Amino acid sequence: MVVFTYDDSPIEDYTLTYEVHGEYDVPGCIAACPGWMKESDEFLEPAQLVEMHENGWGVMSHTYRHRALGYITLIEDVEEGDERIYVDINRHGDVAGDPIVVFDEENRAEGTVAGQGSDSGRDYIDLEEPLREPIDASGYVRYPETFIREILEKTDEQLEAWQLDVTGFVYPYGRYHGVAEEIVRDHYEAVANHRYGGGHNEIAGLDPTAMRRMYVETDRATEDEVDEFMKTAVDEDVLSIVGGHSQFDTLTEDRIRYTIEAALERDLAIVTLDEAFAVLEERDR
pLDDT along the chain (285 residues), means of 10: 98 98 98 97 98 98 97 96 96 94 96 96 96 96 98 98 98 92 96 89 96 97 98 98 98 98 98 97 85
The Cβ of residue 216 has, within 10 Å, a number of other Cβ atoms equal to 25
Give the full edge-to-edge strand order of the sheet including 140-142: 72-73, 140-142, 99-103, 108-119, 122-127, 84-87
Are 161 and 239 found together in one domain?
A: yes
Secondary structure letter of residue 191 according to DSSP: B
Domain count, the chain: 2
Are 189 and 218 found together in one domain?
A: yes
The H or E element that residue 239 is part of is strand 238-244
Are 45 and 179 found together in one domain?
A: yes
Are 28 and 160 found together in one domain?
A: yes
Nearest CA-CA partner of 75 in 14, 156, 151, 135: 135
Q: Give me the pLDDT at residue 47, please.
A: 98
Contact, 192 vs 211, CB < 8 A?
A: yes
Are 268 and 243 found together in one domain?
A: yes
Q: Which of 142, 176, 202 is the last residue of a domain?
A: 142
Q: For position 53, which CATH number holds?
A: 3.20.20.370
Are 177 and 218 found together in one domain?
A: yes
Q: For position 95, which CATH number holds?
A: 2.40.30
Are 166 and 238 found together in one domain?
A: yes
Are 136 and 176 found together in one domain?
A: no
Query: How distant, in Å, are the alpha carbons of 2, 24, 57, 92, 160 from that of 265?
Result: 13, 12, 21, 43, 36
- List the domain range (segments joined by +) for residue 15: 2-66+149-283
Q: Give me the pLDDT at residue 218, please.
A: 98
Q: Which of 142, 166, 190 is the last residue of a domain?
A: 142
Q: Report strand pairing: 58-61 vs 166-169.
A: parallel
Contact, 264 vs 24, CB < 8 A?
A: yes
Q: Report strand pairing: 2-7 vs 238-244.
A: parallel
